[in-house]
Structures are given as C-alpha cells and as structure tokens.
Amino acid sequence: MPPKRSTQHALPKPPPAPKAKPLSREQETKGIIDRINEAKTAIEAGERAFKENISIKRTQMHPGTVFSNDLTLMSYQDAEGVLQELIARATDMLANTAKQKSKAEELKENEKTSVAQELAKQIAVVRQRYRQKEEFIKAGPQFIHHFICSFGEVLAIHMLSEQSFLIFSAPNSLEIWEHDPTSQSQPILKELLPLPIDPITTISFIDKEDVTPYFHITTPENEPNDLASHQSHETSRRESVATKRMSTVSHHMEMLSQQQQQPQPPSFPKPDEGGGFGRRRGAGRHLSVMPEDRVMSVSHDFLQSGTPKASTTRFTFFVGCNSGMGHILQVDVGHDPNEKTYCYTPSISVTRRLSLSPIRLSRYVEHDLTIVAVVSHTGFDHVLCAYNTLLDDEWQCKADLLRITAKDKQMKVVAQLRLETVRETGQRGAGGGMGGGRPFTASDESPICSITSDDYHKNILVAMRSGSIFRLNCETVMAGQSREKKEEGGEVDEKKEEDKEKDKDKKEKEKEKDPAKARRQSIAAAADAPPALRKDLFVAWVLDVQSIGADTLVGVKRDKQSEKGIDDKPAYIPRGAQGVKVQTMHTFIHPQSHKPQLILTCQDGTTRAYPTDPGAATAQPLLYKSDDERKLELSKIQKDLLGTVSDVPVWAEIMEVDGNVQFLISYNDEGILSIFELQNPTPLLEIRVLSNRYTHPPRPTEAKTGTMAAATVTEDEAPRQIHMLDSEKGIAVVVAGREWSLVDLKSLIGWVRRKGEGGGE
C-alpha cells in the first residue's frame, strides 16, 4: 500500500494573479492628450520665465538704470548729447572693468611667481643648512680612545703633557696613562699608585711650574752670614708672583765651572721636599724671589751644550679626604727629549686636618692664591674657609651668614680677627675622631653646592642649594681704634689688656718726668710703627636661580653698598618659584658683547647664562636646552599624566680657543653630549655617548646607614663630568662613573674658523 500523505502542515495555494484587461482605444487617446498638455504647459512656463529674465536684464542694463543719477540732466539739456555722454561713460566703465580683470590676472600670476621664488629660496637655505650640518657632523667631536679605571670611579683628570694624563680614582688611587693620539698605538698605563691617604672626596688643581735646576745663586763675600744658607740654592725658571710685583731687581751674572756644578737628576725630588705626613715643603722656607745684589751663576754646561736637556715640571694639587684631612700633593714629571721618556714622582708636601666631616667641595682661586673649601670645625657647622698653599688659614665665612644674606639681600662685612680651627676635644660630629662618630643625618649635607673664581672682577662666587649665589671678596683694610671695632672683634685677652694698662701707666710716669723726651719718643714710635691692618670679608647677594615658568614677580629692595652704580630701585625676582640647585659655575668673556658672563648648569637640566654686572638679579638668562621640541612635548604629556617631570642634571664647560672662537659643551645625566654656540641657545650637535656600561645598580652606602667615619665615597649614581683639558688644542674628556673618553675637537675649531671667514657659508 502507498504511504499516507500528512496534511497537518500543508500550506494553502495562493490565488492566481488576475489577468490585465486590455486598454480601449479611447483610454489610450486620452492618456496621450494628457501628456501633450503637460508638455505644452511646461514649455509655456519656460518661455514665460525666459522672457521675464530677458526683460529684467534689459532693465538692469539700461543706461537709465545704470546712470539713474544723471537722468535729471536729460530733462534740462539736450537729450541726445546726454545719451552720448552716458554711452561714453559706459564704454569707459567696461574698459576699466576689463583692465581690472587683466590686472587681477597679472597680480595672480606675479603672486604665483613670487611664491615659487620664495619657496626656491627657502629650499636653497634648507639645503645650505643641511650641507653645513653635514660638514659640521663630519667636523664634529672625534672620540680618540675609551678608558676604564682599575679600582673605582673617576674623581678628577688632569693633562700632564700632550701624551700623558693623570687620573684620580676612588677611593685613593692615582693612575697615569700615556697615549699618543697621532699614532695607532694603544694607550699604556704607566703608573698605578695607591696614595697613603684616606679616601679622596675632592681635588683642585693649584699650579704648574718648571722646577728644572739650571742655575745657582751665590752670595758675594761682603754679604752677611745669615744668607749663607742660600749660596748654592737651586732656583726654578718659573717667575714667581712676588717677582712680578717687584719694580726693579738687579743681578750679577757669572759662570760656574763643571767642578763647581752639582747637578741633580730631574726625576727625583729633593731630600727636603720628599713627602711626609706632617712635613711641610722645604721650598716654602727658602727665598722665592731673587734678593738684590745676589749672584745668579748660570750653568756652563747648560749654555755650551747644544743638545736639549731633561726638564722637570711640577704639578700641585689640593686633595681633600673623607676624614677631613687636607693634603698638598705634588707630581714631578721629568721629561728626557733625547730618550723621549717621562718619569713621574708623586709626593705629599703638606698635611693638615681641616675638618671633622668629609671635605667634598674645594676650589683654587688663582688671583688670591688661596684654596677655598667647605669644612666643619665642630661636626655640626659648615664653614667656607680659605687657605694658602701651605694650608694656613686666610679667612672664614659661616654658611649661616650666607643664609641670612640670602633672606635680607644686604651686604655683610666679616672682620677676620679670630679664625677657628678643628676642635677634636669637643663634641664629635660625623666621623669625628678615632673612636668613631655619630650616625649620619640630613643636616650634615653642606648647604654650599658650588664654588668658582671670577678672575675678571677678582672675587669668588658661591652657590647654595637653595639657588642663591653670592659674591665674596677679602680685602686688607686699616684696623680702626674705635670701641665699635673692638666689640666686633670679640673677646680680648685679659692678660693683654693688663699689659697695655701697665705700659700706659709707665708712659704716663715718664711723661711727667721728662715731657720733651716722651714727646720725641712718641713721635719716633709713631713714625716707625707699621699701620695696623686686618682682613675683612665682604659678602654680597648676586641673584637667585629659580625654576622656569614663574611669571609672577615681587619687588625686593637692593642694597646700595652691595651694588654700586645702581639706584635704589626694587629688584624683581619670581614669587612662589622654587630654587634650583646649581651643579657647576663658569665665568667667561662673551665673544660678541666682550663682557664677562656667568654660566650655570642646574639640576633641572638647563644651562643658563647671566651677566656678572650688578644687574644680574633682574636680567633674563639665556637658556641652553638640549631637549628638542618633540621631547618637550613628551615632557608636557608626562607632566599632565603623572604630574611630575624627572629633571636631568647637566654639566657644562666653556671651550675658549680665542676671543672669537668659543663653544659651550654640555653633558647631561642621560649621556647626551651637546655643543652650543654662545649666542645661540639651539644646539649645533647632539651625540649620545655610550658610556658607563659597567655601572652597578643603586645601592645604599654606609654613609646613610652607619657612621660617617666608615663611610665610602661611592655615591648612588655614577658621577658624570666634562672637562676641557686643553682649549687651544681642542682636547676634552668625558667622564661617566669608572669610564672616561678623550675627545678631539680640532676639526670642529677649524670648521668654526672657516665659517667665520666665509668658507662655511
């Protein structure tokens, strides 16, 4: 049987579509007539609109409409003449319209031509700029060689000669490298000496002198016996400072025979100058100036021989240690031009305990011949002290006085009547004494962060962590006899006062016995007595280094005495701005203005140039920034997102080849080496230096966890520095941690000189 079909889900069939009925003839005719009528209506509407448009245009272009103001004349004058006049005017207007149209087209063509010419000029300028940039990059700094210290981080580098370099490394090592940049030979580590001193914290170069013995000083027979010790004293060829100040010095020249000569090897120090820890330099007790009527006997061998003789050059350094000890280190470099060899002999001539805390900052002031350092006499104070080359006290200034001067902006005068020294028997501070010290605290950090010498104005510039900069100058003045001066000098010894009273009573009695004799004695004593002199230290506020972006200014009244030549007008400084720590300071003469200026490298990554005249407080600094616009935009975005921007500390150095060729070379904490022209804040060249690859991660030092006496010199971050070893030859050094690199800038100097002469344009 067939299967049954399921009808439950079957759909009904759709009905069939109705069939179209055919149109009749009448209906087709009616539709055609309707379409014809619609087309006729549209054609009539179009004709009507066309006629109206033509009529309107004729009305608008009719002379009566165009010259409606002149129609009144036609009723009073000849209508035909007026019509001709109107036609002539219309013709002129059409001609002017055509001229204006052609002129507009001509201006448009000229504008296109000028735009094309300007674009061509800009393209030529950009091509020239990129061509100069390419030449500058080719002539840019050339890295000669890369070095790594053996024991610790680099503390200071000095150039002994064209081929030898002296490196102080942590904790107390002395390295001497020899390298000839002109040859392809590898550098040689000539000396590696651990100095017998405590860990080094600061080094300052003092002087370089030629100590080659080449003549003798003898005494004539009629000289007194007290000068007999100088009969055969060897003298340096270097003219001393005292000799320069003498007006006339007479000498008697005579020759010595070879038997009378006592030559001494130049590579060994003299017996009285060999170093000991408590011994002072023997040369300091001899005469440094040729006395009058002294006989200078020139070596016969020195004059007769045509071969060059060995020479000895002495380099003197001040070394400050972690224990507060100060040393005068001398490095004698003996050079034999025949053998082409060098011999190095280091020695310590002077040693003295200067501080109870580490001496971390020092500077040698050439115009005063003093060493300025930040020390602590009690372990709790911070004092800015000046010493001579024998480490004798010259003047002192406490850091608290600088803080007060930064607040009131008034010049201070400190009478140098009583100089303090280290008090080891009192309270022991950080690292005080042999029995240990107290824990390190934040108050032990010195408020003074930078010192430099202004050799143009003969003063010292000191910067504090708060951003304030001061000018210090020590002068010798006449000591007054008034009561106020005595009170300023502090307490007076009672015994001396009693002796003065006794002498006064004795003079009064002698005056009563013989008034004329007493008067003569007083006149003679007053004529023979030297004037009473003392030293006064003048401290003046210069400016405050503030953060960038503070536009609100507040007036601060000046001090007339501190800034001579400036009237009593308020000096405007930023209000609410935070102070910026100064990393380094340098003074130089600007090549264009020929005026001294001050370069500051700051903790926020900026390098600023200020004038050193009394108006520096109100002057707008010239900012040298190594970041480009894209990086600045990223910093703004980071500031908006995170609220803070990490500042990049920077170090800078002035490379002064001559008065017209000067560069500003900066090196920041990110390893970017930038070169600026002093008159242009935009960097000429930026190079990322791949250095300090072996730096260990930051770790806490004992200085922050234990006592300062056992603290190491290692910092959390590797120090970065840049120094010009020889500006004339264009030799610089870049330091990052234990690594340092020699940089040659000779080709860069030549490029700038060619550019100044027109060859680089």
* Beta-carbon contacts of residue 312 (< 8 Å; ≥ 6 apart): 210, 211, 212, 266, 267, 332, 333, 334, 335
Please give the share of the chain, as a percent, with pLDDT higher than 90. 18
β-strands 251-256, 294-299 pairing: parallel
Contact assessment for residue 284 and residue 290, using Cβ atoms and an 8 Å cutoff: no
pLDDT at 291 (0 to 100): 39
Say if residue 164's pLDDT is above 70: yes
β-strands 596-602, 607-611 pairing: antiparallel
Contact assessment for residue 601 and residue 666, using Cβ atoms and an 8 Å cutoff: yes
pLDDT at 530 (0 to 100): 59
Spatial separation of the C-alpha atoms in residues 430 and 71, rounded to whole Å = 110
pLDDT at 370 (0 to 100): 93
Say if residue 571's pLDDT is above 80: no
> With bands split at pLDDT 50, 70 and 90, how would you rate the model's confidence at 583?
confident
DSSP state for residue 591 in the 8-state scheme: T
Strand-pair partners of 585? 600
Q: How does pLDDT run across 204-233, given as a tens digit for each residue?
A: 999 888 887 754 444 444 444 443 343 334
* Beta-carbon contacts of residue 450 (< 8 Å; ≥ 6 apart): 361, 462, 463, 582, 583, 584, 585
DSSP state for residue 445 in the 8-state scheme: S
Of the two residues 603 and 19, the one the predictor is more confident about is: 603
Of the two residues 307 and 756, the one the predictor is more confident about is: 756
Report residue 626 as tokens. Answer: 């190594």
Say if residue 499's pLDDT is above 50: yes
| Sign of the Cα pseudo-torsion (83, 84, 89, 93, in order) | positive
Contact assessment for residue 379 and residue 422, using Cβ atoms and an 8 Å cutoff: no
H or E element in which residue 253 lies? strand 251-256
Q: Report if pTM > 0.85.
A: no
Strand-pair partners of 721? 735
pLDDT at 299 (0 to 100): 38
Q: How does pLDDT run across 325-358, given as a tens digit for each residue?
A: 999 999 999 888 777 788 888 999 999 999 998 9
H or E element in which residue 84 lies? helix 79-138
Please give the share of the chain, as a percent, with pLDDT higher than 70. 59
Of the two residues 626 and 486, the one the predictor is more confident about is: 626
Report residue 596 as tokens. Answer: 């001294």
Measuring CA to CA, which residue among 588, 738, 573 is closest to residue 676?
588
Of the two residues 157 and 17, the one the predictor is more confident about is: 157
Instruction: Spell out the SS3 assignment of 208-232.
Output: EEECCCCEEEECCCCCCHHHHHHCC
Average pLDDT of span 731-745: 86
Spatial separation of the C-alpha atoms in residues 148 and 719, rounded to whole Å = 14
Q: Which stretch of 156-170, 378-392, 511-525, 690-704 has the lowest confidence by average pLDDT? A: 690-704
Q: How does pLDDT run across 436-473, given as a tens digit for each residue?
A: 455 444 456 788 999 999 888 889 999 999 889 999 99
β-strands 200-210, 142-148 pairing: unpaired
pLDDT at 122 (0 to 100): 92
pLDDT at 418 (0 to 100): 85
pLDDT at 277 (0 to 100): 35
Average pLDDT of span 127-132: 85
Highest mean pLDDT among 244-248, 312-316, 525-529: 312-316
Q: What is the mean pLDDT of the chain?
A: 70
pLDDT at 303 (0 to 100): 36
Q: How does pLDDT run across 365-402, given as a tens digit for each residue?
A: 998 899 999 999 888 889 999 999 999 999 999 999 99
Spatial separation of the C-alpha atoms in residues 406 and 466, rounded to whole Å = 9
Say if residue 1's pLDDT is above 80: no
Q: What is the chain's percent helix, strand, coil content, to nearest 5?
A: 30, 30, 40
> In this structure, what are the phi and psi dihedrals at residue 487, rounded to the nearest 5 degrees?
-65, -35
DSSP for 592-641, written as a single string? TT--EEEEEEETTS-EEEEE-SGGGGTSPPEEE----HHHHHHHHHHHHH
Question: Vertex 701, ends 699 and 706: CA angle to 5°?
Answer: 140
Of the two residues 498 and 401, the one the predictor is more confident about is: 401
> With bands split at pLDDT 50, 70 and 90, how would you rate the model's confidence at 658?
low
H or E element in which residue 96 lies? helix 79-138
Of the two residues 445 and 36, the one the predictor is more confident about is: 36
Spatial separation of the C-alpha atoms in residues 118 and 125, rounded to whole Å = 10
Spatial separation of the C-alpha atoms in residues 368 and 589, rounded to whole Å = 20
Report residue 561 as tokens. Answer: 């005495």
Strand-pair partners of 313? 210, 333
Q: Which stretch of 479-483, 504-508, 702-706 has the lowest confidence by average pLDDT? A: 702-706
For 249, what's the count of Cα atoms within 13 Å in the CB-facing half-sphere?
15
Q: How does pLDDT run across 604-640, given as a tens digit for each residue?
A: 778 888 888 776 667 777 777 655 444 444 344 334 4
pLDDT at 509 (0 to 100): 63
Say if residue 531's pLDDT is above 90: no
> With bands split at pLDDT 50, 70 and 90, how would you rate the model's confidence at 660?
low
Q: Which stretch of 542-546, 740-744, 745-749 has the lowest confidence by average pLDDT? A: 745-749
pLDDT at 144 (0 to 100): 83
Average pLDDT of span 501-511: 65
H or E element in which residue 514 lies? none
Q: Which stretch of 118-122, 140-144, 306-310, 465-469 has the lowest confidence by average pLDDT? A: 306-310
Q: How does pLDDT run across 246-285, given as a tens digit for each residue?
A: 333 333 333 333 344 344 333 333 333 333 333 333 333 3
Strand-pair partners of 362? 373
Spatial separation of the C-alpha atoms in residues 692 and 148, rounded to whole Å = 9
Average pLDDT of span 597-603: 85
